[in-house]
Amino acid sequence: MALTTVKEIREAISAKNAELRRLNEESAGKRFTEEQKRNWDSLIDETTDLEGLLKRAEQIEKGLAVDSQNDEFRSQQDRHLFEERRKSNQQNDPNAPLNEYEKTRAFNAWALGRRCMSREDRELAIRAGYDFNQSECDFRFNRGSDASGIPFRAPKTMEEVRHQKQARESRADNKVNLAATGLKAADGSLGGYTVPDAMMGPLESALLQWGGMRQVATILTTDTGADLPIPTTNDTSNKGEMIAENTAVNQLEATFAQVILGSFKYSSKMINLSVELLQDSALNLPALLGEMLGTRIGRITNDDFTTGAGSAGPRGIVTAAANSSVTSASATALTYAEILSLKHSVDPAYRANAGWMMPDGVLVMMKKIADSTGRPIWLPSLAQGAPATFDGDPYVINQSMSSAAAAKALLYGDFSKYMIREVRGITLLRLDERYAEKHQVAFVAFARYDGDLIDAGTNPVKYLTLHA
């Protein structure tokens, strides 16, 4: 039977994972038979194909998401509230919160600029905080992802899944004490006119869906782009001393260094939309622009956070990672011994919060790796919502990495030691005069970022090289 919907494909993947778990339990710690090994490899191949099909199906359905979201925003409840406010002359009440339908109309009105002829929509935009005299607005990302500071660690039970979710939500405002560095937590009242939640959510989602670095890195937000020094020190070789009574202590100086995070400017490139399209109040423009602009900036920045040279832009995690001195014997396959060698080349101090990072091509290789007993080291998640693991550690897929021969194809370590510095957030610019003769409005997003691995000298992240 052909699989045509995202739901059907996900159900098929779940069924394959159940078969993998059953096969693993069936062996009961014993070496796989040849038949079991063939079945396992076949299931892995089928699951990989289904995961690729799922990505394509999600992309197709995502194109229909605007319509479905329109239905949600234009629900009877939201529209009824809007009409009731209008009839009771309370539509301009500054104390009345805007619902999703009204937020969308407010943003669409600002996007039209001087072409917005509806008094009601202009008033909604003003209540939402927009200024029609301003052609740009600034906004910050929502927190609530792994970038909030929650350790990169695989939950083993549903209770741990819930606990990590609650912990991430509790850090939604980025409540790290940053006063000493001049940093400020994300604050919607700073940096101009705040785009409603309908805009912020889709943009954040777009960045996380495509990339991999923002999921595991530590993210710092600053209000200026001035150089930001991150102090480092390596005191690991120094020890204290035992002294006799009434004996003076010896002196042993500590040495300090620093990593400088600057700011490099990125743009989404322009998107032109017809005025007729913008005037359609049913269009969920915040979601549309958030998806398009967020994905564009997400792709280029994820590339730089991964493989950037660091000379005229961010230094990527692959560039900054230390050599584990592990090179695979094959350019197309990995062994369990090679995986263990990479893992144990990282100091145990970092392994408590460590994980794997690789492109999808290496993921397939790793799914087929067996330990010394012939049992696969990759296991599907046993709890709903918990990630699959390798040797007990979670992994993240980063398509900015390469799986070609001689590539640094697999990373292991504490990825929270990689810092992404973002300045203010995203600036969205409306160009309502440039293409007036075409009856179009253009939009472009700008952002400033830098990134680097904060390594004091003990190499929190290391890489494995594929055979040339």
pLDDT tens sequence across 323-371: 999 999 999 999 999 999 999 999 999 998 999 999 999 999 999 888 7
Q: CA 65, 69, 72, 75 torsion: positive or negative?
A: negative
**pLDDT tens-place string over residues 174-216:** 333 333 333 332 333 322 333 444 454 555 556 555 678 998 9
- % the chain with pLDDT above 90: 32
End-to-end CA distance of the chain: 42
Distances in Å between the alpha carbon of 239 and those of 209, 236, 250, 346, 349?
45, 8, 11, 21, 17
Per-residue pLDDT of 360-391, as tens digits, reads 999 999 998 887 777 787 877 666 556 678 88
Q: Which residues contact 438 (CB under 8 A, 6 or more apart)?
A: 272
Lowest mean pLDDT among 45-59, 133-147, 399-413: 133-147
Cβ neighbours of residue 459 under 8 Å, at least 6 residues apart?
A: 321, 322, 346, 347, 413
| Confidence grade of residue 267 (pLDDT, cut at 50, 70, 90) | very high
- In this structure, of 50-54, 109-113, 228-232, 426-430, the range with the lowest mean pLDDT score is 50-54
Amino acid 107 reads: F
What is residue 169's predicted lDDT score, i.e. its pLDDT?
44
Q: What is the mean pLDDT of residues 402-419?
A: 96
Return the closest-CA partner of residue 415 out of 401, 434, 430, 428: 401
Mean pLDDT of 414-433: 90
For 1, 45, 55, 328, 359, the CA distances from 5, given in Å and listed in that order, are: 12, 20, 11, 39, 26
Q: What is the pTM of this model?
A: 0.72
The confidence score (pLDDT) of residue 4 equals: 63
